[in-house]
Structure 1
Amino acid sequence: METIKVNTTQHVDIDYPVAGLGERIAARMIDFGMLIAVLFLVAFVISVATLPKGNLIFIGLLVLYGIVFVFYHLIFEIFFNGQSPGKKLMKIKVISLDGGQAGIGQYFIRWLFRLVDFWLTGQIGGLLCVTLSEHKQRIGDLVAGTTVIKTIGRTTLEQIAFVPETEEYVPVFTNVHLLSDQEAELIHEVLTTYYKTAHYELVYAMADKIKARLGVNLPAGMHELDFLNTILKDYNQVTSAAQ
């Protein structure tokens, strides 16, 4: 699986799985299909409109559809965290290259460069750029400083479930017994959410709370995601041994 390494605002390098060309094409086709479905709905409404002002209805619906067609991707990406319906179904999303959520300006640049990626180049510009660029970016992504990643984590959820470690496993943080079952469950939920959505901000917040709770600092070379996974492993081991 191809990944992109981004340096977050906390100066932590995180590997994100990059969305492939096939997934991006499939998402685009889903979105296009939805727009076509809306067009048929508009045509149906127009065909059954028998009011005296039918021409006004016809013009109004066409204008409304034109607005939806033009701004479809921009609106969804801004208000739905980098995902259009097609991207949502394909489990991919737009992020900034710093690992965080893209800003409105970045979404706007991506949307503006759709003219170059798709319309002015007959759909070829964007496809070629995604195929040839290192991080699977279309021209709009390169200019906006964004890319498209998979929201399905590389690690399965079973790896962070409450399963005792092997007897040979030595806990790194020996005072994890100070945590409650509820706190351990919350860590599990944060990790589950991260592996589904790649929202690293939750990981930072949870890590800060656990560090304060246990009075520990991150060992050299360990970032927040590794820290929470280690805490959960340690908790599983310590609590299972105590039973």
Structure 2
Amino acid sequence: MAVISITTTQNIEIGYDLASVGERIVACIIDLVIFVAWFIITSLIFSYADFSWLNVFINLPIAFYSLLSETFLNGQSVGKKVMGIKVISLNGSQASFSQYLIRWLFRLVDIWIGSGVIAVIMVAATEKHQRIGDLIAGTTLVKTKARSNIEQTLYVPVAETSYNVTYPEVINLRDSDMQLIKEVILNVRKSGNPMLAWQTVEKLESVLHIKNQYGDPMNFLYVLLSDYNHLAAQER
């Protein structure tokens, strides 16, 4: 099974199983079924409407489906969610809107021209299973469950000797606390629901008397892990 190992900007290494060609095809087929169902339902409901207006009404949601669903469903369409795969940036973070936009624009080349043959060839031939849109956007598709377990990544060495600690207060936490933070990160990545991360951030801010400087809760948790890793390594 193909695997991609991503080291985040906070020096936390996370491994993912890459989505296979078959999984991507099945996800695409599921989305196509949704398109067909949408077409049939809207055609039946508006069977007496002006055809030109109806054509626009039917085709616009289909045209923008991939872009909107990936943007608002954390890198997933309905088909991807069913198959347990999602789009991520190659730096390990959630892809940005501009990356989703690039992937969407290149669907015309990858998928619609040649009935998806180009996409299949590119995904099969590239190391990180990327179609052309992924290569240009700096993204790929992975299974939603991270391979790395908590024990493997709790004490990842900090590569830079000049590493600057952002939250020295984190050393007041215990190893078990850091285990829980890792569990939160992995659970949020698996579910795509950031609520647990936000709750954890609020608790840590209260306990450590610090403030999240990063906005995104996952970045904050990554920094805490990296800071703890660096400080704990110095004490050993």
What TM-score does the superposition give when structure 1 sets the normalisation length?
0.67
Report what 1:240 is aligned to. Answer: none
Give deviations 1:98-143, integer Å, cap 9, x for gaps: 1111111111111111111112233110000001110111111011
Q: Kindly tell me: are residues 203 and 77 of structure 1, through their superposed partners in 2, closer, same or farther at Cα, counting changes over 3 Å?
A: closer
Where structure 2 has 5 or more consecutive residues not aligned to the other structure, the ranges are: 152-170, 198-215
Q: Kindly tell me: are residues 38 and 202 of structure 1, through their superposed partners in 2, closer, same or farther at Cα, counting changes over 3 Å?
A: same
What is the CA distance between 1:46 and its match in structure 2? 2.4
Correspondent of 2:103 among 99, 105, 110: 110
Q: What secondary structure, in the 3-state scheme, does the structure 2 residue paired with 1:151 have? A: strand
Residues 194, 202 of structure 1: 8 Å contact kept: no
Report what 2:83 is aligned to. Answer: 90
Report what 1:219 is aligned to. Answer: 233
Distance, in Å, in 1 between the alignment partners of 2:80 and 2:133 is 16
Q: Kindly tell me: are residues 219 and 97 of structure 1, through their superposed partners in 2, closer, same or farther at Cα, counting changes over 3 Å?
A: same
Q: Kindly tell me: are residues 190 and 102 of structure 1, through their superposed partners in 2, closer, same or farther at Cα, counting changes over 3 Å?
A: closer
Distance, in Å, in 2 between the alignment partners of 1:6 and 1:177 is 23
Q: Give 1:132's aligned amino acid.
A: A
Q: What secondary structure, in the 3-state scheme, does the structure 1 residue paired with 2:101 have? A: helix
The correspondence of residues 33-182 of structure 1 with structure 2, limited to 5 A, is: 33-47=33-47, 49=48, 54-55=49-50, 58-154=51-147, 176=174
Q: Give 1:34's aligned amino acid.
A: I
Report what 1:21 is aligned to. Answer: 21
Percent of residue pairs identical: 36
What TM-score does the superposition give when structure 2 sets the normalisation length?
0.69
Q: Which runs of 4+ in 1 moved over 6 A?
A: 183-187, 198-201
Task: Figure out how many residues of one structure are paired with residues of the other and give that number.
Answer: 196
Distance, in Å, in 2 between the alignment partners of 1:13 and 1:188 is 14
Q: Kindly tell me: are residues 98 and 22 of structure 1, through their superposed partners in 2, closer, same or farther at Cα, counting changes over 3 Å?
A: same
Q: What secondary structure, in the 3-state scheme, does the structure 2 residue paired with 1:94 have? A: strand
Where structure 1 has 5 or more consecutive residues not aligned to the other structure, the ranges are: 160-172, 221-243
Q: Give 1:154's aligned amino acid.
A: R
RMSD (Å) for aligned C-alpha atoms: 3.6
Residues 14, 147 of structure 2: 8 Å contact kept: no
Q: Kindly tell me: are residues 81 and 45 of structure 1, through their superposed partners in 2, closer, same or farther at Cα, counting changes over 3 Å?
A: same
Q: Kindly tell me: are residues 211 and 92 of structure 1, through their superposed partners in 2, closer, same or farther at Cα, counting changes over 3 Å?
A: closer
